[in-house]
Amino acid sequence: MFHFTAIVTLLAVMFYFYTSMQVARARVAYGVKAPAISGNPDFERIFRVQANTLEWMPIFLPSLWLFAIYLSDVFAAGIGLVWILGRVLYMTGYAEAANKRGTGFAIQMVAVALLWGGAIYGVVSKMLHV
């Protein structure tokens, strides 16, 4: 079983849900009524945090789970936590200013690269050794 990866998956889902709630709050705070998604730069930055997190979910989750299945549940979960940390820093940075989103983005990108690279290494070595 992959208990640790399951927990980290649910934490990542919760964090991503939180970024959606921030968009709903920002709609009220900056007076941007649905269905509009532009018109105020403060709103747009918060909207982009959620949109960018969404954009990374189909990269993060498959890489996380294939790493867990082919290499290690515990290591997948550990790197997954680093990914969440990077996304949190990206969110807090981007909310302040567009050019403060770099550090968090880099951290989560390195985390995903490790998951993806580990997963492909795991699959290919399994295929070659059978």
The binding site for a second copy (CB under 8 A) comprises: 1, 3, 6-7, 9-10, 13-14, 16-17, 20, 33-38, 41, 44-45, 47-48, 50, 54-55, 57-59, 61-63, 66, 69-70, 98, 101, 116, 119-120, 123-124, 126-127
Rank residues 70 and 82 by Cβ distance to a second copy and give the closer one.
Answer: 70
Q: How far is the CB of 58 from a second copy (least distance, A)?
A: 4
Helix (H), strand (E), coil (C) string for the chain:
CCHHHHHHHHHHHHHHHHHHHHHHHHHHHHCCCCCCCCCCHHHHHHHHHHHHHHHHHHHHHHHHHHHHHHCCHHHHHHHHHHHHHHHHHHHHHHHHCHHHCHHHHHHHHHHHHHHHHHHHHHHHHHHHHC
When the beta carbons of 4 and 85 are compared against a second copy, the nearer one is 4
Shortest spacing between CB 15 and a second copy, in angstroms? 11
Provide the residue type at 75 as one letter. F
The least distance separating a second copy from the CB of residue 85, rounded to whole angstroms, comes to 19
Cβ distance to a second copy smaller for residue 61 or 88: 61
